[in-house]
Amino acid sequence: MSAPETLEGWFALHDLRRFDGAAWDRMPAPDREKAAAEARDLIADAEALTDGGIGLSITYEMVGHKADLMMIHLRPDMTQLHDLEQGFDRSMVGSCTSRVYSYLSVIEVSRHAAPQGTGSNVEDSPYIQARLYPELPENSRFVCFYPMSKRRQGDDNWYLLGGSERAELMRAHGRTGRRYAGKVTQVVTGSMGLDDWEWGVTLFSDDPLQFKKLVYEMRFDDVSARFAEFGPFFVGKRLVPEGVGRWFGG
C-alpha cells in the first residue's frame, strides 16, 4: 500500500508562553517599560515581516490556564522559526515567560485535494496555492488550536484503509466543514516526523461558539468517530501589537 503524495507550503510554529507575573513585578519600573516596548516591537516586526521575508505571524492572548500567549508563525524556512522563538527568548520580557507548549509542523495538502479539471500540474492550481500559502484572517477575534492524529487500533486503523475509502471519508468530513464557510477559517498543518501528533488544526472566527459547533458536529462524521484522536485545545483572542504593552502591564 503506497502513501498518498502531499504538497508542502510554509513551515508553522505555534509558540505558547506563560507569563511570570512575580518575575515581572520584581523588575524595576523603568525596565518593565523598556521590556514591554521591546516585546511590542518584536511582535510587530514579526507580523510586519521586517526581515524582508515572506510568511505570516499573528498573536493571541489565551483564555484559561494552559497558556497566556500564543504566537503563530508561518515561514518558508524552519531556521526562520527558530530565529523568531530565540529572539523572543532572549528579550527582556522573555525572562518573564516560559514556553508551556509548542507545535512544529508544515502546511500540507494532498494532491488528491485539488478540484477536478486541475490537470497534471496540481501544484499550480490557485486553490492549492491558497491552501499552501494561506492568508491568516488577522482581524478574526478568536483562535482555536489543537493537534490530532488518526487512530491505529485493531479494525480502526486509518493507515490500513484503501485509498478510495479514505478519500470518501474525508470528502464527507469536508462537507461538514463547508457548512461553516464564512463563519470559521481553517488551516491544517502536518507534523509527522516533526512533532508528537500528526496534524495541527487552527481555526479562526469572530464567534468562539462556532468552534464548539464545528468540532462537535465533526465528531459525528465517520472519519472522526472511528479514527480521530485529539490533543489539548487552546483558545485565545487577538492581541494586536499596539496592545502588547498594555497586556504586559507596560
Gap between the Cα atoms of 132 and 126, Å rounded: 10
Gap between the Cα atoms of 77 and 216, Å rounded: 35
* 159 part of the active site: no
Gap between the Cα atoms of 9 and 207, Å rounded: 28
- DSSP notation for the chain: -PPPPEEEEEEEEEEEEEE-HHHHHHS-HHHHHHHHHHHHHHHHHHHHTTTS---EEEEEEEESSS-SEEEEEEESSHHHHHHHHHHHHTSTGGGGEEEEEEEEEEEEEEGGGSPTT--S-GGG-HHHHHHHS----TT-SEEEEEEEEE-EETTEEGGGS-HHHHHHHHHHHHHHHHTTTTT-EEEEEE-TTTSSSSEEEEEEES-THHHHHHHHHHTTSHHHHHHEEE---EEEEE--GGGHHHHTT-
Gap between the Cα atoms of 238 and 139, Å rounded: 8
Residue type, 39: A
Select which of 103, 127, 133, 146 is catalytic.
146
* Residues with a known catalytic role: 146
